[in-house]
Amino acid sequence: MIIQRVVLNSRPGKNGVPVAENFRLEQSTIADTIQAGQVRVRTLYLSVDPYMRCRMNEDTGSDYLLPWQLSEVADGGGIGVVEESKHDNLAKGDLVTSFNWPWQTVAILDGSLLQKLVPQLVNGRLSYFLGPAGITGLTALLGIKEKGHVTLGANQTMVVSGAAGACGSLAGQIGRLEGCSRVVGIAGTDEKCSVLVQEMGFDAAINYKKGNVAEQLRELCPGGVDVYFDNVGGDISDTVISQMNHNSHIILCGQISQYNRDVPYPPPLPPDIEKIRKERNITRERFLVLNYMDKQEASILQLCQWIQEGKLKVRETVVEGLANIGAAFQSMMNGGNIGKQIVSVSK
């Protein structure tokens, strides 16, 4: 069977900025028959995420992420429909997902590695299983619950950097739902800041490209910062940490400002900021959602309930066509989107 697939065409280099041309669309073939335990699936949606930047390097810098290989098919979160099955628990027409879905139009996969989906849980918005009801939502919810130490009634203030991104936009809302009394986002355009406040219920949002971030933080968080959901690292995070309270908590989710630099993860803080962190007993622990997969099912159901009740607002940027996944990746890494970046492969 002839298919289309996207392979890694070139590496941007450890300090390089990825471009669409780092990926290549090509024709390939898969077997016409499947073996026992396998299913043939047609790809519907693929997820494009910041962590994938690390997979473009020969060394990802992580013990749980494998690098993509040159001229080999890329992979990530995906959703598809079963076209043929030789797996006992999956039938033709079932909708399924995997965290390691190949970027190709049709694939033969091990049925035991797939999860069956129930579209009614997300009001029929199937792509939500790659975002708010998938690994992105899990990262936001479990990060807050496991590392944020949010306590209902404690009058805590949360700051979220990269707040208009897929994870940040959910994290701010979840922080409120879990008990934070004030939520402030940091983003890179006035449009993003407006969406955060008007659509997603943030109390305020700072455009870090305008004005003095430190001064704006002091005005918007007069009682200091108790919980910081850190998606970006770098200068913005240093500014937030300098205004955090004693015994406060950093949820170390991502460091997107550092992804195009050859630095260890998580990057060390500057000496003066590290001194503040230690003196104020601020926790800053690496968070990996895969360490909490025993809580996945209950957490997904909670996220779906919030979606159904309209308590969790979702923004997606959907790009049509497998051929455009490289451009979608470049746009996402340049911060051009609000919310989750999705590629629709097949209707």
Tens-digit pLDDT profile for residues 246-283: 999 999 987 554 444 444 557 789 999 999 999 999 99
pLDDT value at residue 264: 53
Give the contacts of 333 (CB within 8 A, at least 6 positions apart).
Answer: 17, 18, 50, 53, 256, 259
Architecture of domain 135-290: 3-Layer(aba) Sandwich (3.40)
pLDDT value at residue 130: 96
pTM: 0.91
Q: How far apart are CA 158 and CA 24, in angstroms?
A: 41
Residue 108, amino acid: I
Q: Which segments of the chain have a pLDDT < 50?
A: 257-263
pLDDT value at residue 332: 87
Give the contacts of 342 (CB within 8 A, at least 6 positions apart).
Answer: 45, 46, 47, 48, 127, 130, 131, 316, 317, 318, 319
pLDDT value at residue 20: 95
The end-to-end CA distance of the chain, in Å, is: 19
Residue labelled with tokens 């306590």: 151
Q: Left if phi > 0, otherwise alpha if psi is -120 to 50, otherwise beta: which for 32?
A: alpha
* Angle at which helices 234-241 and 271-279 cross, to 10°: 30
pLDDT value at residue 62: 76
What length is written for the chain? Answer: 347
Segment 122-180, tens digit of pLDDT = 999 999 999 999 999 999 999 999 999 999 999 999 999 999 999 999 999 999 999 99
Q: How far apart are CA 76 and CA 74, in angstroms?
A: 7
All structural domains of the chain with their residue ranges: 2-131+315-344, 135-290
Same CATH topology for 2-131+315-344 and 135-290: the answer is no
H or E stretch covering 229: strand 225-230
pLDDT value at residue 347: 55
pLDDT value at residue 138: 94
pLDDT value at residue 262: 46
Q: 204-207 and 182-187 as β-strands: parallel, antiparallel, unpaired?
A: parallel
Give the contacts of 189 (CB within 8 A, at least 6 positions apart).
Answer: 164, 207, 209
Q: How far apart are CA 210 and CA 289, in angstroms?
A: 33
Give the contacts of 335 (CB within 8 A, at least 6 positions apart).
Answer: 165, 188
Architecture of domain 2-131+315-344: Alpha-Beta Complex (3.90)
Task: With beta carbons less than 8 A apart as the criterion, state whether 119 and 133 touch.
Answer: no
